[in-house]
Structure 1
Amino acid sequence: MNTFKELIDTLKESVAQSEFVKLTLSKPVRKSDELPNVYVRQIQLKEEECFQFTYRYTTNDQVKNYTLEEAIIELESLLLEKFRAASLFTLTHDLLVFVSKKKKVSYKKSTPSFKNKLPETHDKLKEKRVELSEYLKHLGITDSNNQIIPKMADKYRQINKYLEIIEGLLSSVNTSKQLHIVDMGSGKGYLTFALYDYLVNRKKYNVTVTGIELRQSLVDYCNGVADKCGFQKLSFIAKPIQEYDNERIDILIALHACDTATDDAIYKGLVAKSELIICAPCCHKQVRQQVKGVEQESPLLKYGIFKERQFEMVTDTIRALILEKNNYNTKVFEFISNEHTRKNVMLVGSKSKKIKDVDSINEKITDLKKEFHIEEHYLETLIK
């Protein structure tokens, strides 16, 4: 007797009646499989109806397409071996399937969650820009078997997202020429190594990358890893951002450089007339300390947590306006999900040939400072 008869019959009927929406598998039998879910949807591929299975692994997604009969075989296999629950969504009702440890199957029907079907378009598998290279092992992201260490899965995702963003930003840069990228505040170098590997080894760009980091121990460690991996045009230097004096910076990156170190980095980019200035500001103490004890008119600033967030926005807005004054097009967006960190804003300036209205921008900066009783922004003092 087929223990999944009700599931299979309902699936077939919903497909025949054009009422199938989607199906999900959950409650994995073994966490060690690192496969929390499988999602099934109907797609049209080369004018044929198929069922697309998205295997949502901890570190990546894998997609396979099956005919209806193949899909049924795969579903039975997954429910017998890997999952304890399935949810079949149709336009008439939802069917919940539960599999006990002793393989006893039970069902529960409920009202439909969806009123409309999903579009039957074929989605390409999202590109993973980070290959499982040797440097990931040295940095503690993968183990000796070249598998992602579970606790580093978020970092792996963050690196992929970072490279996706950088790839988009590079559309404004002439990548056919030699580029010098400087990463100010490179830390342990997770993103610095990934960027070098992606641009040099994957994209074959002529790129030199320099990481600037205060801590000598991290610099020695990163230089050692670069040497082991044969990354000949990647190097790390131990010095404060203010003391870095190389005027050739085509792309400047400063992610989570603390407080005014972000401004020091932006200033270096402005002096070098960098084509791209990419920042993810961290703490914002300079402006907040200036207005400490000053009564603010806005009721929003009565509460500490709102005050902190407001002055973060004010600080970064002035930074963006200063970049615009210096002929950069600017944009501000979320870098990574705020479930990882609330310091998730990225500020980007791309060099523009269009002359900006400096007087208008100066007026905006003056009005902002006046409204919030700010005497001067640290980046302004550097430029003066």
Structure 2
Amino acid sequence: MKEELTPLISAFEQRVSDDSFVKLTLSKPIRKSEKLQNVYIRQVLIKDELNYQFLYRYTTNDQVKNYSFEEGVSLLVTLLAENFRAATLFSLENDFLTFVSKKKKVSFKTTAASFKNKPPQSHDKPKLKRAEDSLYLKELGVLDNEGNLIPKMSDKYRQINKYLEVIEAQLKSVKLPKQIHIVDMGSGKGYLTFALYDYLVNKKGFEVSMTGIELRTELVNYCNDLAEKCNFTKLDFAAKPIEEYNENQIDILIALHACDTATDDAIYKGLVANASLIICAPCCHKQVRQQVKGKEQESPILKYGIFKERQFEMVTDTLRALIMEKHNYQTKVFEFISNEHTRKNVMLVGAKTSKKVDADFYDSKIAALKESFCIEQHYLEGLLWHE
């Protein structure tokens, strides 16, 4: 096979030699059941030595390995012989396409260059820091007085920046008014609340008013004092249960790790207010667990306590997502932060749409899911029935 691929290998060598190589992509898996979907090859500098990074993209995860040029060429031949039918060599001069037929006949094609510039060769992609040296980070004990990160707060700092990255991406999916009102239900000590207000107002220039809802009076007083100290004039905190918050205008509803049914109380407030965005990191699933206690479940998975806990977390959050979809929200569920920081790392996001939905379709999906797990009623459903 190596002989048949000589034109590709020669083109690869030439593009590396004249410093016009951009990347090389392998695609079109030979077998439909192939878990390896693509391989992306790029140059990286590791300890001042040029290596070739192979990003193996599987259906469930990505794996990265680095090789010398000679090792990379050998692997390239093997992958085209055993796994893929197509390769595209991108360079600043042109794109060199390789095709391998079912009978292992190899053909080539040259097209105009897709890239005008080479990507950086740094091994690690630099992370954009959205939360930088700010008074609130010092007051909250994330940075010291010189603006340096306090080592024990590195996880919290990483979480703050990931949170801002997620919010920034979600803002692009909805239409918001000129003056945005955000409500953070269960704001706690306010790490993420302060970060979001500072980022949107002072970094991005949005007109934002923001309210943090928190039960603990001492935290509310602390956060209000800090907001005043930071001159965050349109950020305030109120001490009350989520269910007692009655402000009708909510453009963005946020509820991160609100315990037990407080997540549902928050989602309910967002639905009733027709919030453009509802962003939750659900915490508990006690309400569903209590209903199914003592009921025999058909699934053998639910025989084991740890699996039962995880299963009902997924069932609870799936019901929440379906209920939101029934109310014209396009929902996404994804991992917020790594499991190494907290296992409560699922984020549920709903973006309001104008599309007409089939309520009966969602009712049937919800009913079937409840029947499968012997659930009589989801708490969020009960709240909406009383509307």
Which string of whole-angstrom CA distances, capped at 9 and with x for unpartnered residues, describes residues 346-370 of structure 1?
1111111001111010001111111
2:241 is aligned to 240
Mean Cα displacement is larger for which, 306-315 or 173-182?
173-182
Structure 2 distance, partners of 1:42, 1:360, is 46
2:356 is aligned to 355
8 Å contact kept, 2:211–2:238: yes
Structure 1 distance, partners of 2:325, 2:340, is 31
Q: Tell me which of 115, 119, 124 is aligned to 1:122.
A: 119
Where 1:172 maps in the other structure, the secondary structure is: coil
8 Å contact kept, 1:300–1:306: yes
Where 1:323 maps in the other structure, the secondary structure is: helix
1:255 is aligned to 256
Q: Per-residue deviation at 1:339?
A: 1.1
8 Å contact kept, 2:176–2:251: no
1:172 is aligned to 173
1:203 is aligned to 204
2:280 is aligned to 279
8 Å contact kept, 1:91–1:115: no
Residues 305 and 253 of structure 1, relative CA distance in 2, 3 Å threshold: same
Structure 2 distance, partners of 1:356, 1:308, is 32
2:317 is aligned to 316
1:226 is aligned to 227
8 Å contact kept, 2:282–2:347: yes
Q: Per-residue deviation at 1:174?
A: 3.1
Structure 2 distance, partners of 1:89, 1:137, is 43
Which string of whole-angstrom CA distances, capped at 9 and with x for unpartnered residues, describes residues 284-326 of structure 1?
1000011001110110110011111111111111111111111
Where 1:210 maps in the other structure, the secondary structure is: strand
1:34 is aligned to none
8 Å contact kept, 1:178–1:207: yes
Name the aligned partner's letter for residue 326 of structure 1: H
Which string of whole-angstrom CA distances, capped at 9 and with x for unpartnered residues, describes residues 123-169 of structure 1?
46332111111110000100111100001111111111111110010
Q: Per-residue deviation at 1:172?
A: 2.3
When the two chains are superposed, the root-mean-square deviation of aligned CA atoms in Å is: 2.8
Alignment map for 1:1-384 (pairs within 5 Å) = 90-91=68-69, 115=75, 121-123=118-120, 125-175=126-176, 177-384=178-385
8 Å contact kept, 1:176–1:206: no
Name the aligned partner's letter for residue 174 of structure 1: K
8 Å contact kept, 1:183–1:211: yes
Structure 1 unaligned regions, length at least 5: 1-14, 19-40, 44-50, 55-70, 73-87, 94-111
Structure 2 distance, partners of 1:146, 1:240, is 35
Which string of whole-angstrom CA distances, capped at 9 and with x for unpartnered residues, describes residues 201-249 of structure 1?
0000001111000001111111111111100011111100000110110
Where 2:301 maps in the other structure, the secondary structure is: helix
Name the aligned partner's letter for residue 178 of structure 2: K
Name the aligned partner's letter for residue 122 of structure 1: P
8 Å contact kept, 1:42–1:52: no
Residues 308 and 42 of structure 1, relative CA distance in 2, 3 Å threshold: closer
Question: Please, what TM-score do these two structures have when normalized by structure 1?
Answer: 0.71
Residues 186 and 53 of structure 1, relative CA distance in 2, 3 Å threshold: farther
Q: Per-residue deviation at 1:259?
A: 1.2
Where 1:339 maps in the other structure, the secondary structure is: coil
Structure 2 distance, partners of 1:353, 1:306, is 38
Structure 2 distance, partners of 1:253, 1:245, is 15
Q: Per-residue deviation at 1:175?
A: 4.5
Query: Alignment length, in residue pairs?
Result: 294
Structure 2 distance, partners of 1:379, 1:244, is 16
Structure 2 distance, partners of 1:321, 1:362, is 9
Where 1:333 maps in the other structure, the secondary structure is: strand
Q: Per-residue deviation at 1:283?
A: 1.6
Structure 1 distance, partners of 2:179, 2:17, is 58
Question: Please, what TM-score do these two structures have when normalized by structure 2?
Answer: 0.71
8 Å contact kept, 1:288–1:311: yes
Name the aligned partner's letter for residue 119 of structure 2: H
What is the percentage of aligned positions where both structures have the same residue? 66
Which string of whole-angstrom CA distances, capped at 9 and with x for unpartnered residues, describes residues 39-65 of structure 1?
xx985xxxxxxx7579xxxxxxxxxxx
Structure 1 distance, partners of 2:187, 2:384, is 24
Structure 2 distance, partners of 1:128, 1:144, is 19
